Amino acid sequence: MPGFILRRLLSAIPTIFIVVTISFFLMRFAPGGPFNLERALPPQIMAHMLSAYRLDQPLYLQYLSYLGNVLRGDFGPSYVYRDFTVAELISQSLPYSLELGSLAMVLAVVIGVAAGVLAALRQNGIVDHAVMTAATIGLTIPNFVVGPLLSLVFAVMLAWASAGGWGSGSFRDLVLPVTALALPQLSVFARLTRGSMIETLRADHIRTARAYGLPPHAVVIVHALRGALLPVVTYLAPCAAALLTGSVVVETIFAIPGVGRYFVQGAINRDYTLVMGTVVLVAVFIIFFNLIVDLLYAVLDPRVHLD
């Protein structure tokens, strides 16, 4: 297993290199620039700004310079937030996104898997239809509708939770943004678990376990659930990366100072370095969680060998 982990980490290097290269040139080829304001700057000031940030150099020199800085862990200064570097902006906002995303992930996995197992055990029954209906609603209603609705009902009308802001990070402050962020993923986990669980319950080894007279709960939890979680684990990597790096919609609605807002604001303002920093962050998270998923495969399925 250590050799497998080492190979995966080494293979991540060219992956990140490709992501950085594509993102760099896409940002540069996009129309506009970080200093193209509604009111145009005087030519002398514009030339000074471009020279200060080395944007007057040929594109290939800018790319080589940026690549060298990234290898040293330096993502450069922000072109819009001019008193901050990209690393400082991400380090300030990432803890909020990590805590919010972690809580949403736990909520989505626990409730989604439990609901999917319950629906599979009551296939085509009232419980199954209720769970699938709720999952469909959770998938179709977007966050920008769910968030304000939760705030209106539970914060404004009932005063059970805070309407927005991080506050002290208490349950009252986080329950609504965590719920809004978790609902779509919870629905996906419920549907994945139900479909996989139904298929697993019909497998030969499950019929054999029942024939040996094992208790129903042992058959479901010990034998069936282990195999049924494989599709759920597969979806875990992109889901975790998306949740942990922040949802700009939820963070905007509930005024959470997370990293998701910087990606959108950076793209709108053509803040090249800020966008590149968030893209690299997402790429690192996806690579890391894909490695975790591969390791979980070996734990859940004895037929998988990590050589």
Stronger pLDDT, 290 or 32, i.e. the higher one? 290
Give me the percent of the chain exceeding a pLDDT of 70: 91
For residue 85, which phi and psi values (nearest 5 degrees)?
-90, 165
Q: With cut-offs at 50, 70 and 90, classify the pLDDT of residue 282.
A: confident
CATH class in words for 95-257 = mainly alpha
The sign of the torsion formed by the CA atoms of 219, 220, 225, 227 equals positive
Note if the pTM is more than 0.85.
Answer: no
Please, which residues bridge with residue 85 across strands? 77
Residue with tokens 């300030």: 92
Q: 142 pLDDT exceeds 90? A: no
Residue with tokens 């330096």: 74
Q: What is the pLDDT of residue 126?
A: 92
